[in-house]
């Protein structure tokens, strides 16, 4: 599958370094069948992959890669809107300056592919007065999102009525 980036054209690259990074990332995505979007900024290019639960029509994670010409940062964008910078001191953010733009793109692709491969499941509790959904990593149980903020306040939900693999 070709990387489709309707908001970003290779002509928008400011220099050969950015172009080399994006072309290498495109090649990785084509080879492994994933989709990404790219967003030009004054000082960097941001590449995103959105992980969603199509059945529930909701976004679960926005994976993000920032490239400024010499450094690559990769991590989840907790805002889902690219409104803050990735913090390289966070444990779930990787940062590297080692290598050519192609090598940095390969490192970014490897991180994206690892994160995309993590299994996600949706836990559901169906009661007469409420319906709760929790999305979590199936491999660690780490919570990603609840269907609404009231769900987190409820205790004693017990075992979910249904667990559905999402990804």
Q: Are residues 107 and 146 in the same domain?
A: no
Q: Is the pLDDT of residue 30 over 70?
A: yes
Tokens of 57: 């029509």
CB atoms within 10 A of CB 105: 25
Banded pLDDT at 8 (limits 50, 70, 90): low
Q: Are residues 81 and 128 in the same domain?
A: no
Banded pLDDT at 34 (limits 50, 70, 90): confident
Q: Is residue 14 part of a domain?
A: yes
Q: Are residues 86 and 32 in the same domain?
A: yes
Q: Are residues 92 and 130 in the same domain?
A: no
pTM for this prediction: 0.86
Tokens of 104: 């940095």
Q: Are residues 110 and 145 in the same domain?
A: no
Q: Does the CA dihedral 37-40-41-47 come out positive or negative?
A: positive
Q: What is the largest CA-CA distance in the chain?
A: 60
Q: Are residues 161 and 104 in the same domain?
A: no
Q: Are residues 98 and 126 in the same domain?
A: no
Q: What does the pLDDT look like over 66-113, one tens digit per residue? A: 999 999 999 999 888 888 999 999 999 999 998 999 999 999 999 999
Q: Is residue 147 part of a domain?
A: yes
What is the domain range of residue 143? Answer: 120-165
Q: What does the pLDDT look like over 124-141, one tens digit per residue? A: 998 887 788 999 999 999
Q: Are residues 112 and 132 in the same domain?
A: no
Q: Is residue 2 part of a domain?
A: no
Count of the separate structural domains present in the chain: 2
Q: Are residues 99 and 61 in the same domain?
A: yes
> Using an 8 Å Cβ cutoff, are 17 and 69 in contact?
yes
């Amino acid at each position: 599958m070709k990387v489709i980036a309707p908001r970003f054209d290779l002509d928008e690259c400011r220099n050969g370094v950015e172009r080399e990074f994006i072309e290498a990332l495109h090649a990785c995505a084509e080879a492994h069948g994933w989709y990404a979007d790219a967003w030009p900024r004054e000082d960097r290019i941001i590449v995103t992959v959105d992980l969603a639960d199509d059945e529930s029509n909701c976004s679960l994670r926005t994976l993000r890669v920032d490239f400024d010409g010499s450094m690559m940062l990769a991590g989840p964008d907790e805002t889902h809107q690219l409104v803050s910078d990735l913090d390289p001191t966070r444990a779930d953010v990787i940062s590297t300056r080692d290598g050519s733009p192609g090598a940095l793109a390969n490192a970014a692709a490897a991180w994206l592919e690892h994160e995309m491969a993590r299994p996600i499941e949706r836990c559901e509790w169906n009661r007469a007065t409420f319906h709760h959904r929790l999305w979590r990593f199936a491999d660690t149980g780490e919570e990603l999102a609840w269907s609404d903020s009231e769900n987190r306040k409820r205790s004693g939900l017990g075992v979910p009525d249904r667990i559905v693999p999402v990804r």
